[in-house]
Structure 1
């Protein structure tokens, strides 16, 4: 009788961790946007990456992640994943510094749909007509946000869309990694690669001194990115993924609030409509995948139960 209560409690904790996770990443992005052009992007990524990498390495050490030696295939996939992470960080943050926070964040919510699409195209995973319709609906929502052909569509809109493609590649690559590979080892490799990429890029740029305001913002984005990584690890260990995953869309709510309060950005009605469509289609896709996993688990459990009864 107490088992359902325990499961509900874990789901509730997982929900709060996911909300905190998205809040941390969104507020970290807001700090980068507030820094603006005062610091080169490479300098921001190096300083933030140094703090994040040191923390992740400490956490990986505490969790025993370094005891596992990755196979050559996993090492190659980790390199590909890290490269995709470098591209997504550069593309998204460049777009973020030049377009409304809510618009950039809303486009990033396309990732669950593009990952489903990529899994079907590249891995041959079955996708039913319902999820195909959801993917099509999500792309319609994306068009409402970027509005190609209008004056609001520019190079930074393309950067944001390319960032979605890079994050999709990152997540598809993550799916091909061995289950035995510790997640913290994967996270650390990507964090270090982003920092090294930014350090190489910074060789052709002049670093700028930090005044009190810039130092506070740099500390803010660094601490918040560490909090986001921490919550990401914790949320994977608590509750049901299918229940918790849709709360990733709370990041869009944080972005809307921050954009309005800090920069006075009031998204156009078409942008809000497009964001709502993407969230609805993405939530349906996550729900549908959860239903299919449950159905598959029941099918696998049925023969085992029948065998138990016969014996």
Structure 2
């Protein structure tokens, strides 16, 4: 008999597979289809799929207070901005490098919550965040040939996702998680649709359409598993399995693109992952676990 925790861990790993497959498919399309066009089409398809899923779950409810609308809107802005910065970086750097930088999220969210939301912040959290950022420096390696504007774009993506997740924490429990996810997907669709309007629409070959459909299916699956995983098991046990996404990024980056990270990148990624896991452990110890709603909404 499989325990609830093990089922939750399996679903979390499936969610990470979905997100990493989405990134891989989109990276394959880099240079073939304009970014704004890609994200608009994916936004249309993902919004429709998520809306249908939310409807059948009985949780598609856009009625919310002005306060909640403000934070949901800010979350959508963070989501759209993160998509732009992360995918721009991803198109110009190895998959594993970009994914490793994104693993700093538990650290940056904890720091942001302390700075802007008055959450407790002791020397253990401070030391963990500092060590994690040292890991990031090993990944991007400022001053070397590997450091360029796209490394900065990846860091900007982290800031934007941090804004997204902090905004999510401020949305009241009255708003269903899947509704927030649908709203963010729709915001991404509208944002990139507006940017694509003055641009030339490029025709897509069948292979490119197939890859885009694969990316959409993967990210919708990732979100679906993220919602499912928060309904079972102990989140303090399940949450660290989100770092399996980095393993998939290493494998797919090597198999699909022939990229294998520099040894310092691997060391830096290991430091970031270890710091993030310890931060999640500390959250559980002090009773300030990340809310299941927040993790489900945040996706990654």
In 2, are the aligned partners of 1:74 and 1:177 still within 8 Å (CA)? yes
Query: Shift of the alpha carbon at 1:30?
Result: 0.3
In 1, are the aligned partners of 2:61 and 2:179 still within 8 Å (CA)? no
Written as runs of structure 1 = structure 2, the 5 A alignment for 1:120-135 is 120-135=114-129
- The 1:49–1:68 alpha-carbon spacing in structure 2 relative to 1, beyond 3 Å, is closer
Which residue, 33, 38, 42 being the options, matches 2:32? Answer: 38
Given the alignment of the two structures, is residue 215 of structure 1 paired with residue 209 of structure 2, yes or no?
A: yes
Quick one: distance in 2 between partners of 1:171 and 1:73? 16
Question: 2:219 is matched with which residue?
Answer: 225
In 2, are the aligned partners of 1:137 and 1:277 still within 8 Å (CA)? yes
Quick one: distance in 1 between partners of 2:80 and 2:130? 28
Given the alignment of the two structures, is residue 278 of structure 1 paired with residue 282 of structure 2, yes or no?
A: no
Question: 1:257 is matched with which residue?
Answer: 251
Which residue, 196, 202, 209 being the options, matches 2:196? Answer: 202
Given the alignment of the two structures, is residue 173 of structure 1 paired with residue 167 of structure 2, yes or no?
A: yes
Runs of at least 4 residues off by over 4 Å? none
Which residue, 17, 22, 39 being the options, matches 1:23? Answer: 17
Given the alignment of the two structures, is residue 142 of structure 1 paired with residue 110 of structure 2, yes or no?
A: no
Which residue, 230, 239, 242 being the options, matches 1:236? Answer: 230
Quick one: distance in 2 between partners of 1:10 and 1:66? 27
Quick one: distance in 1 between partners of 2:156 and 2:4? 36
Quick one: distance in 1 between partners of 2:61 and 2:244? 35
- The 1:294–1:185 alpha-carbon spacing in structure 2 relative to 1, beyond 3 Å, is closer
Note the aligned Cα RMSD (angstroms): 1.4
Deviations 1:128-164 (A, max 9, x none): 2212111000000000011111121111011000000
- The 1:206–1:273 alpha-carbon spacing in structure 2 relative to 1, beyond 3 Å, is same
Please state whether the residue corresponding to 2:171 is helix, strand or coil. Answer: coil
Quick one: distance in 2 between partners of 1:204 and 1:287? 48
Quick one: distance in 2 between partners of 1:201 and 1:103? 27
Quick one: distance in 1 between partners of 2:132 and 2:103? 9
Question: 2:91 is matched with which residue?
Answer: 97
Task: Pick the structure with more helix per residue.
Answer: 1
In 1, are the aligned partners of 2:43 and 2:186 still within 8 Å (CA)? yes
Question: 1:119 is matched with which residue?
Answer: 113
TM-score by length of 1: 0.90
Question: 1:78 is matched with which residue?
Answer: 72
Query: Shift of the alpha carbon at 1:64?
Result: 2.2
In 2, are the aligned partners of 1:22 and 1:251 still within 8 Å (CA)? yes
Larger Rg: 1
In 2, are the aligned partners of 1:39 and 1:207 still within 8 Å (CA)? no
Which residue, 36, 55, 59 being the options, matches 1:61? Answer: 55
Please state whether the residue corresponding to 2:198 is helix, strand or coil. Answer: coil
Question: Structure 1 residues 66-75 or 109-118, which shifts more?
Answer: 66-75
Please state whether the residue corresponding to 1:66 is helix, strand or coil. Answer: coil
Given the alignment of the two structures, is residue 185 of structure 1 paired with residue 179 of structure 2, yes or no?
A: yes
Which residue, 224, 240, 251 being the options, matches 1:246? Answer: 240
Query: Shift of the alpha carbon at 1:67?
Result: 4.3
Quick one: distance in 2 between partners of 1:270 and 1:14? 32
Segments of 5+ residues of structure 2 without an aligned counterpart are 290-300
Quick one: distance in 2 between partners of 1:206 and 1:171? 33
Segments of 5+ residues of structure 1 without an aligned counterpart are 296-311
TM-score by length of 2: 0.94
Please state whether the residue corresponding to 1:239 is helix, strand or coil. Answer: coil
